[in-house]
Structure 1
């Protein structure tokens, strides 16, 4: 069973964190909604309090998108949650969409950060002019990455600070000390890499499509996309394509927001969630 944090009462809001991230990704959004909803923030498999020593020795497939969705369905059922508004960014976006595909009856609506339509995966991740932004997804495949960072708080801090400073635009995306501590536990950083090592990342999706794989079908669910225009991974040029993936989506582009939408645009995301409660 996943560890989980719950706040408030009312309609269910299920919040899925990203990488590098954890439940603290929702430390600003939760207080905005807890007076009118039950906010449920799980520690995804291998992250935070759902990490256990020895997890780093398990196969990466135990921490794939598919495994995360299975764990989330078990969590939703165990908590007897009504169909939830599912919120996500980064890893949480693709996990939320995969959850909706597999168990649409458990999802009332989606509120997500920059959501890349599959038709743009190749342009986003493989275009020579943008390929350098995805260097970390290659690096995470290497045992060297674990050897350099795992269990070393100074290295963890330096590594995570790169992403907070490069991907974030508003001050709310600054260093999260609790996250540094969580990722510094022996084995925890390596376990977090299994999302990438399992083939669940954007880069793997782009490679599959480039090799002739089919584009996933659209997800027909009410949706709101809050797009940070300063996200270097998914710039606003890709925003108009969102409706290929989420045909019922509204898209709000925020010019001074980066990648970490639940932190940088907590008020805007809360407003979108309220529209589905």
Structure 2
């Protein structure tokens, strides 16, 4: 008779081994959570030991915490990693644009309250695209909470903008009409979303198409174009805040890491040079990548983050 696998010895082995495996996987296993902040439900990804230094990952347009799906596992064995979705993005709630303030001051205040709700007393900020205006507002409001900053394709200088992009925003900011809105609504088209990922990406074969498909699904939700248009309209306030954020860097000299896709069609490397002038000790890594450099260079960027955080 063939011995059964489930002998008392085998059962003893599995009952003792499985809890050990589960316990070992707990700290760096990504969890998916929602918390109520004011009138919105914020979705966030979390991983890593809560006793470790915290990395707060702030995403860009038109993505969500989904853009960090490959980075989080690279960091979570060593650090406490949290990545929220903004209101109107990803899995977070999206109140009607007519009844909610989709501006960056409100967004930053919401993320500050989010960190307080999760009892995050200190954190290193990772800021990409929209994450820059959010993160710098947070740093200005509570500089003592910021252990360091990581900037990935998020400019705080006018010279960091591609003039071709500026020419599309300027008429809209100067006089908001149906006609001046039209070029901005083009940013919500499927071909534009894909272009944001592929333009300037020399290792395009590394880009998972799920990235732009996921983002487009969010943009195509009923009412979401109006939400995003409010954010883009308010972006002019970010430009007005640039001098304050520049002063923050010059005055506080935070530990700074710059990981940048040098072929970004939106934000030029002139913006990197301008930050280096403010923070001469900044650690700078330029990659042959586009706006979403994590899609093609996550291993290289995570290595730079580990080196930066260990110092």
1:35 paired with 2:67, answer no
CA distance in 1 between partners of 2:153 and 2:184 (Å): 28
CA distance in 2 between partners of 1:33 and 1:263 (Å): 16
Residue from 184, 197, 204 that aligns with 1:164 = 197
SS of 1:48 mapped into structure 2: coil
SS of 1:198 mapped into structure 2: helix
1:160·1:180 contact (CA, 8 Å) conserved in 2?
A: yes
1:67 paired with 2:106, answer yes
Deviation at 1:271, TM superposition (A): 2.3
Q: Which residue of 2 aligns with 1:102?
A: 141
SS of 2:309 mapped into structure 1: coil
Deviation at 1:276, TM superposition (A): 1.8
1:11·1:82 contact (CA, 8 Å) conserved in 2?
A: no
Per-residue Cα deviation, 1:192-226 (whole angstroms, up to 9, x for no partner): 22222114476x44xx88xxx88841422111001
Q: Which residue of 2 aligns with 1:181?
A: 217
Question: Do the aligned partners of residues 158 and 149 (structure 1) sit closer, same or farther apart at CA in structure 2, a change above 3 Å counting?
Answer: farther
Q: Which residue of 2 aligns with 1:236?
A: 269
Deviation at 1:238, TM superposition (A): 3.9
Query: What TM-score, normalized by structure 2, do the two folds share?
Result: 0.71
1:108·1:276 contact (CA, 8 Å) conserved in 2?
A: no
Q: Which residue of 2 aligns with 1:191?
A: 227
Per-residue Cα deviation, 1:38-97 (whole angstroms, up to 9, x for no partner): 21111113212223252x2236xx222221221111011110124112112111123222
1:114·1:226 contact (CA, 8 Å) conserved in 2?
A: yes
SS of 1:252 mapped into structure 2: strand
1:92 paired with 2:131, answer yes
SS of 1:49 mapped into structure 2: coil
Question: Do the aligned partners of residues 77 and 23 (structure 1) sit closer, same or farther apart at CA in structure 2, a change above 3 Å counting?
Answer: same
Question: Do the aligned partners of residues 144 and 89 (structure 1) sit closer, same or farther apart at CA in structure 2, a change above 3 Å counting?
Answer: same
Q: Which residue of 2 aligns with 1:80?
A: 119
SS of 1:14 mapped into structure 2: strand
CA distance in 1 between partners of 2:149 and 2:245 (Å): 20
Structure 2 unmatched runs, 5+:
1-36
CA distance in 2 between partners of 1:65 and 1:49 (Å): 19
Query: What TM-score, normalized by structure 1, do the two folds share?
Result: 0.79
Question: Do the aligned partners of residues 76 and 214 (structure 1) sit closer, same or farther apart at CA in structure 2, a change above 3 Å counting?
Answer: closer
Greater C-alpha Rg: 2
Question: Do the aligned partners of residues 230 and 199 (structure 1) sit closer, same or farther apart at CA in structure 2, a change above 3 Å counting?
Answer: closer
Question: Do the aligned partners of residues 79 and 44 (structure 1) sit closer, same or farther apart at CA in structure 2, a change above 3 Å counting?
Answer: same
CA distance in 2 between partners of 1:5 and 1:69 (Å): 18
Per-residue Cα deviation, 1:94-141 (whole angstroms, up to 9, x for no partner): 3222211111122111111134353xx1x344xxxx522335535696
Residue from 148, 157, 165 that aligns with 1:133 = 165
Deviation at 1:144, TM superposition (A): 6.3
CA distance in 1 between partners of 2:139 and 2:244 (Å): 19
1:115·1:242 contact (CA, 8 Å) conserved in 2?
A: no
CA distance in 2 between partners of 1:45 and 1:20 (Å): 12
User: Relative contact order (alpha carbons < 8 A, sep ≥ 6): 1 or 2 greater?
Assistant: 1
1:89·1:261 contact (CA, 8 Å) conserved in 2?
A: no
CA distance in 1 between partners of 2:203 and 2:44 (Å): 27
Q: Which residue of 2 aligns with 1:272?
A: 304
CA distance in 1 between partners of 2:91 and 2:258 (Å): 28
